[in-house]
Amino acid sequence: MAFAQFTELSPHFSPTLLHEKFGVVFHHSVMPFDATIALMCGATRPVSYHCLIAPDGRRCTLVEDDHVAWHAGASTFNGRSRCNDFMLGVAFAGDTYAEPLTSDQLASALEWLDSRWRRYGWSEERMTDHRQVAPERKNDLNPVEWERLRRSIAERFGCSVDEKPI
């Protein structure tokens, strides 16, 4: 199934730094899809994701993969700080504590990953969520939803689904 996708570029990115594309930090936006796009494209808060996924699976590209989006803030992954510089940011519209990810959101995220997985040399170990890279500051995704997403990624890309701490 191919989900609708469109681009609404955010001004909140670093255009002079080329993005390493080491992996992905998954988020939830807390807000609805259209409100998140308005915030990311507005002047009030300098934040952005590379991609936002609606409950119906629609995707909006807010920052191109080659640029550094401002999604993770103070963060650390694999002993490296400043995750924005080397991890792409993908957000699910809504709050995963209030509502679980929809099957369309999961399928759309996998579709988004499909075109990048081999090209960028990703593995399951290069996928994480905001809660894990900024544990004192953030709590997204809901651990139950992160586990659903992680297992979906493992099944789709043939990775290990061994138990890991959430």
75-117 pLDDT, tens digit each? 999 999 999 999 999 999 999 999 999 999 999 999 999 999 9
* pLDDT computed for residue 164 by the predictor: 45
CATH of the domain at 50: 3.40.80.10
Task: Determine the structural domain holding residue 126 and report its residue range.
Answer: 17-156
Mean pLDDT computed over 162-166: 43
In a domain, 98, yes or no: yes
**Tokens 């997403």 belong to residue:** 149
* H or E element in which residue 91 lies: strand 87-92
In a domain, 59, yes or no: yes
CB neighbour list of residue 68: distance below 8 Å, 6 or more residues apart: 13, 14, 17, 19, 84, 85
State the total domains in the chain: 1
In a domain, 39, yes or no: yes
User: Is the predicted pLDDT of residue 162 greater than 80, yes or no?
Assistant: no
CB neighbour list of residue 161: distance below 8 Å, 6 or more residues apart: 151, 154, 155
* pLDDT computed for residue 158 by the predictor: 84
* pLDDT computed for residue 160 by the predictor: 55
In a domain, 99, yes or no: yes
In the chain, % helix, strand, coil (3-state, to 5) comes to 30, 20, 50
15-70 pLDDT, tens digit each? 877 889 999 999 999 999 999 999 999 988 999 999 999 999 999 999 999 999 99
